[in-house]
Structure 1
Amino acid sequence: MNDSNKKLQRNLTNRHIQLIAIGGAIGTGLFMGSGKTINLAGPSILLVYTIIGFILFFVMRAMGELLLSNLKYKSFVDFVSDLLGPMAGFFMGWTYWFCWIVTGSADLIAISGYVEYLFPGMIAPWIPAFVCILFFLCLNLLTVKLFGETEFWFAIIKILAIISLIAIGIFFIIYRFTPPSGVTTSLSNIWNDGGFFPTGFAGFVAGFQIAAFAFVGVELVGTTAAETNNPEKTLPKAINAIPIRIILFYVLALAVIMSVMPWRTINPDKSPFIVLFSFAGITSAFNITYFVVLTSAASSANSGIFSTSRMLYGLSLNQKAPKAFKKLSKASVPAWGLTFSCICLLPSVLLLYFGNENVMHAFTLVTTVATVLFVFVWSMILFAYISFRKKRPELHQKSKYKVPGGLFSIYISLIFFLLLIISFWFKEDTKQALTYTPLWFIILGMCYLIIPKKIKQQWIKSFKNNL
């Protein structure tokens, strides 16, 4: 069989999909960024994570209904192309690819920073980033099942770390532990100092700006549709568990942290996970937590390499990317797409030759750009669902996996994303990202315009043949 005629294999099992979904819902921001979000928003950060989590639950439900309406859809780019047109699919596919290139670059920079914390002065900062690129390239080239296994164990590490923190915190609350701050552990510490909104509306909004990046990757299960065994069962199960995971991994964990450490005593530059484990007398808390954060960043980078290669594969099938990207290896993985994406991650290695200030500035900028682009991706999924309801009402009626609240939930979610983008304008670093991000869409628009009309007509024909 010719390489180009092979198809992606459904080798991801239920446990792989469930843990990939959990891994996507637990961002590195929870471990390292929670101190900063608590400092900005105070206890209202609990509401921030809850709101974002449930909005993204509606996005995921919309994505789930669309993917299950036609099992020939390989990812959400397929239903966007089908329902909103080839131009929308072109913008969606390449933007999602760029999202993960940007996010992966940020993760690699972060990984190098974490290794430096663990082994100060022992390893040149570019080496961990370069090694990660090579390792994940080799790993993903072998078989999709290996990707699933890797993400499974990465997610297990994150889950165990969070459950351990919650268990230690509950123990402290029950036995009214008194940490070095001198304030006895109690649930009332959450609201005792200034109430639930101590930093006002501005602080509450600032929490959204940072917390949104923690959810990047929650849509990852949508890129595994073509390689998921029994998608009618596994996809709904993974999506339906999102609200429970948000409450457990974000809300409960942060509530425990603020019960043990009053929110004003939390250092925004340090991980509260490290501090809380230290209170428990775990002397190696520093190394343990940084190991967890390291695996979390590695998980995100690995997911990015996986998803970008699948995006390139889907775009190539529909003639929106070079033909080489649709060729599959003997292991039925898009080898050329994987290699190209990894090459595009190499500039992050070069960034590590610059001073710390430049790297940290670049890290802040690229993560914010990624958040803005992911908001675009999430919004496109919702617009595709609105089109689905208009164009395919019969399929919606047959669906056993309808969006709760229907179109009302979809419109509320779109309004939320609009307000989120507007809020980015009122903070200097996020405002800078908003200024740069349109350049990507201008570049895409120029590329689309120079593509001959004949090729665009072939896109439609090719897409219909693949569905």
Structure 2
Amino acid sequence: MTEHNPPPTHSPTVTDRGDAGYDKALKNRHIQMIAIGGSIGTGLFLGAGGRLSQGGAGLALAYAVCGVFAFFMVRALGELAIRRPSSGAFVSYAREFLGEKGAYVTGWFFFLDWSVTVMADITAVALYLHYWSAFHVVPQWILALAALALVFVLNMLNVKMFGEAEFWFALIKVAAIVLFMLVAIWAILTGAPVGDSTAGAHNITDNGGFFPEGLPIVFMLTLGVIFAFGGTEMVGVAAGEAADAVKVLPKAINSMILRIFVFYVGSVILMTLVLPYTAYSSNESPFVTFFAGIGIPHAGDIIQVVVLTAAMSSLNAGLYATGRTLRSMAVAGEAPRMAASLNRNQVPAGGIIITSALGLLGVLLNAFLPDSAFEIVMNLAGIGIAGTWAAILVTHLAFLRRVGHGLETRPAYRMPLAPYSNYAALLFFAVVVVSNVSSSAGRWTLGLFAVVVLLMVAGWYAVRGSIRSDLLDEIVDAE
């Protein structure tokens, strides 16, 4: 019996044919910034404004709790990615440990997440551009279409070009957050005037305290917070095109928890200290609200350019990840055949085209529902993200079971507190999704998600007969 065999000194090397053909041109600095770019996007730069206006300072608690569980998820993914880097990432790992049905569910959850996030990001770009009166004459849907077209062209070029674009996009985002935090701390320490108020703790104590609208509303906003953290799993996808994934991945992943607490939790706390929570809105970046309020000439305009760059960064990363995930699935027969093709730049052109085509639905939303487009797609993307993260954690549990039977060995870089941390995170994500029944918008989101699930089930029965069983080739480690 298997359990009486001594554990292998090396795990068998498994290669995924879906990884063939890629140019491994991403360097350490690219991976580091893709990790940052994935975890800092429109969820903070735009979405935090609306959530602050609804929940007040207690929103920082939601960011902190979600951040812990996002960290558990990305450490589980990191353990799997260091064992075997793959551009198919969690789809490829689900195929290995859960079978083709697991790969199918994981892949389409991720595609739902990022195809809808692409819609959210082009909506954010259009809203940002309407900050300037010169763009008021341009319909919101045209601006959204222009953003989609620009990033589509960037992604059709070679992966090094994508890596460079994302490096600079992410660098600008980080610089903006650091600048905001420094100026906000100065304003709080000096009691500087900000808009119709002054900075200081009284903005919390005089406006209902930490939970001005109650604790339940903060919990209801948690799905939007998960949307803000969506993209942290991007580092696993990038590992497949990294020159030295085993070396650079641990650094990128370990720094993530620090970024979450400094950039997300720290920024939200500072936002509630410099202005009353009622000063923020869902139609304007909270960073712009602050800098426009401190009276520095053109500060609002400068920060608006930065948050516009942040949205373009998130959009850029979304097309990158979905293209590669769709290719992994298409090679297996689980997605349209055209998604399997690479262009002459060794880029999965078919998958990028499919995601961009679906992004046109976001253009339509901006044409017919410009005021609510962002909120609609943000909540649906949040469920897709929770589903993707849950699939990663379940895949990691399946890997741990094989370890327990002596069929695998864990790498030195491991998920902490596993498997208990897996179960805790899975329970948390389930509760967050189900809690949407308590609001009208949440019920609409769950209704849309139910339709997606039905389509996924129908899709499985349509493709299961054409799935390739030889996609994963096991090669005995010669060492």
Deviation at 1:193, TM superposition (A): 4.5
Give 3-state SS (helix, strand or coil) of 2:212's partner.
Answer: coil
Q: Residues 177 and 117 from structure 1, CA distance in 2 versus in 1: closer, same or farther, beyond 3 angstroms?
A: closer
Q: Residues 47 and 352 from structure 1, CA distance in 2 versus in 1: closer, same or farther, beyond 3 angstroms?
A: closer
Counterparts of 2:381 and 2:346, CA distance in 1: 29
Deviation at 1:18, TM superposition (A): 0.8
The TM-score, its normalising length taken from structure 1, stands at 0.91
The TM-score, its normalising length taken from structure 2, stands at 0.89
Counterparts of 1:17 and 1:447, CA distance in 2: 34
Counterparts of 1:424 and 1:221, CA distance in 2: 29
CA offsets per residue over residues 266-322 of structure 1, 9 Å max, x none?
A: 456543322321343322133223222222221122112111110121112222234
Counterparts of 1:260 and 1:85, CA distance in 2: 51
Matched with 1:160 is 175
CA offsets per residue over residues 180-219 of structure 1, 9 Å max, x none?
A: 5455x33464456444333322122133133222112111
AA aligned opposite 2:245: P
AA aligned opposite 2:426: L
Matched with 1:375 is 386
Pair 1:306-2:320 in alignment: yes
- The equivalent position to 1:399 in structure 2, one of 411, 416, 425, is 411
CA offsets per residue over residues 120-164 of structure 1, 9 Å max, x none?
A: 334343333333333222222220011111111111111111111
Give 3-state SS (helix, strand or coil) of 1:360's partner.
Answer: coil
Pair 1:390-2:401 in alignment: yes
Give 3-state SS (helix, strand or coil) of 1:425's partner.
Answer: helix
Deviation at 1:396, TM superposition (A): 6.3
Counterparts of 2:307 and 2:130, CA distance in 1: 13
Matched with 1:461 is 470
Matched with 2:23 is 9
Matched with 1:432 is 444
CA contact (8 A) 1:93 1:311 kept: yes
CA offsets per residue over residues 60-105 of structure 1, 9 Å max, x none?
A: 0001111222235741100011111101111221231232111112
- After superposing the two structures, state which structure 1 stretch, 403-412 or 119-128, moved more: 119-128
CA contact (8 A) 2:106 2:388 kept: yes
Counterparts of 1:243 and 1:395, CA distance in 2: 31
- The equivalent position to 1:340 in structure 2, one of 354, 373, 377, is 354
Give the unaligned 5+ runs of structure 2.
Answer: 1-16
- The equivalent position to 1:86 in structure 2, one of 81, 100, 104, is 100
Give the unaligned 5+ runs of structure 1.
Answer: none
AA aligned opposite 1:421: V
Counterparts of 1:452 and 1:281, CA distance in 2: 61
AA aligned opposite 1:127: I
Counterparts of 1:328 and 1:432, CA distance in 2: 38
Counterparts of 1:339 and 1:203, CA distance in 2: 39
Counterparts of 1:264 and 1:100, CA distance in 2: 31
Matched with 1:237 is 251
AA aligned opposite 1:418: A
AA aligned opposite 1:162: I
Counterparts of 1:137 and 1:389, CA distance in 2: 39
Q: Residues 182 and 338 from structure 1, CA distance in 2 versus in 1: closer, same or farther, beyond 3 angstroms?
A: closer
Equivalences, count: 458
CA offsets per residue over residues 409-464 of structure 1, 9 Å max, x none?
A: 111101110110122111211210101112112112112113364x34xx222233
CA contact (8 A) 2:46 2:282 kept: no
Pair 1:136-2:147 in alignment: no
**Equivalence map 1:189-200=2 (5 Å):** 189-191=203-205, 193-200=207-214
CA contact (8 A) 2:204 2:272 kept: yes
Q: Residues 313 and 57 from structure 1, CA distance in 2 versus in 1: closer, same or farther, beyond 3 angstroms?
A: same
- After superposing the two structures, state which structure 1 stretch, 97-106 or 239-248, moved more: 97-106
Give 3-state SS (helix, strand or coil) of 1:241's partner.
Answer: helix
Pair 1:444-2:456 in alignment: yes
Pair 1:170-2:185 in alignment: yes
Deviation at 1:46, TM superposition (A): 1.3
Deviation at 1:242, TM superposition (A): 1.2
CA contact (8 A) 1:318 1:463 kept: no
Counterparts of 1:121 and 1:42, CA distance in 2: 30
Give 3-state SS (helix, strand or coil) of 1:320's partner.
Answer: coil
Counterparts of 1:296 and 1:228, CA distance in 2: 23
CA contact (8 A) 2:46 2:124 kept: no
Counterparts of 1:452 and 1:208, CA distance in 2: 35
- The equivalent position to 1:25 in structure 2, one of 21, 26, 39, is 39
Counterparts of 2:65 and 2:154, CA distance in 1: 36
More helix by share: 1
Counterparts of 2:244 and 2:402, CA distance in 1: 27
**CA RMSD after TM alignment:** 2.5
**Equivalence map 1:247-396=2 (5 Å):** 247-267=261-281, 269-354=283-368, 358-393=369-404, 394=406
Q: Residues 73 and 265 from structure 1, CA distance in 2 versus in 1: closer, same or farther, beyond 3 angstroms?
A: closer
Give 3-state SS (helix, strand or coil) of 1:275's partner.
Answer: helix
Pair 1:70-2:84 in alignment: yes
CA contact (8 A) 1:317 1:463 kept: no
